[in-house]
Structure 1
Amino acid sequence: MARKLKTYQTSLGFFDLAVAAPSMKTALEAWGADSNLFHQGAAKESEDPDVIAATMAAPGVVLKRPVGSSGPFKEHAELPTNLAGEDISKKPGSSSVRPKAQKHPKPAKEQAADREAALAFEKEQKRRERERAKEEVAQRKQRERRQKAVDTAQSALDAARRKHEKIASDIQSQFEALEERSQAEGARWDKEKARLEAALRRARG
């Protein structure tokens, strides 16, 4: 069953942010906040009917307006023009000086709209989850391709090293065999030379 949506509002950087969400936790996730802004007093549930209407028209979508302004919330807002330090929170019409709207039981038509908004929020949340899942799959495939390339390069290096070691071992074996033949030939020649020189001396008398 779809949970009833509420409108939550905060300020981050140059913008005021608002979102229709079923809980403070989901609002923080939608804003991308890395701390609990509600516990810090930097976020609240909005009671501004204009803000509520704007967020309920796009559940789950983070709406923005220049920080401290009283203009309408939009999905894409321009940077504030009064960044020189002017205290806009004290201007007439600012959201900070608006009286709190009194709560009244909602008629059936508004309750139906709330249910529709909650369903739209869940639909938007599922769309985001599908996008995150697609991104995770793409990242995993990229990591697998990179690992496959590393494994292929490592395998080629290992094969080349084994080939080199075998050739070097064969050359060393051949060198040792030649060295042994050389020593044997030297010993044979010494014996034959001594025998022939002895025969030469006997022939000379």
Structure 2
Amino acid sequence: MEEKVDRRVRRSRAQLGQALRDLILQKPYETITIQNITDEADLNRATFYLHYTSKEELLMASLEEQFGALLEQMEVEKNGRPLWENPATIRIIFEYAAQNEALFKVLLGPQGQGYVMYRILNYIAQVDEEELDAAFGQNALPVPNVILARYFAGALFALVSWWLEQDMPHSPTYMAETVQQLCAVGVVPVLAGMEESWPVTQG
């Protein structure tokens, strides 16, 4: 019986999440109401409030569930190497953004909600900080891990946003290798024209 209830809960949450994502593609996020969501999901308002207190909570729960699946893919690809050393892992992020292009263009674009963008950025930074803690310990580096994590997450977030806004002018592989190299060698060699330190080819 408990398994049947759990299955029903998962199904209701999935319906609500999908309904909100569909609505975001149809109208501005700030105009979407709980009633809109429940109508789209073909559920009643009471069912919504059994699971969530607001549309923001629903959106982040839905995105975090998707990010969980994304992190599982990244973990497989990582093969023991931290994110900043592995362009194949970073490529998965760009591929995921491309697969969900319409939704993320809305969420990350000029009309996106600051709350949502802040939560996504926090999510990326938290993953990065955990990677740094695991690789180096919490106080072993000359710069606090939290600052490094924020720096990397902010750069990645900004590049994914720009890439989608520009209709993906470069391949996910090129973007991933560029991000990885910028993390590895920084921008100074690029500005100095040190091509030997920049192995990424245009893509």
Q: Same fold (TM over 0.5)?
A: no
What is the TM-score with the length of structure 2 in the denominator? 0.21
What is the TM-score with the length of structure 1 in the denominator? 0.21
Structure possessing the higher radius of gyration over alpha carbons: 1
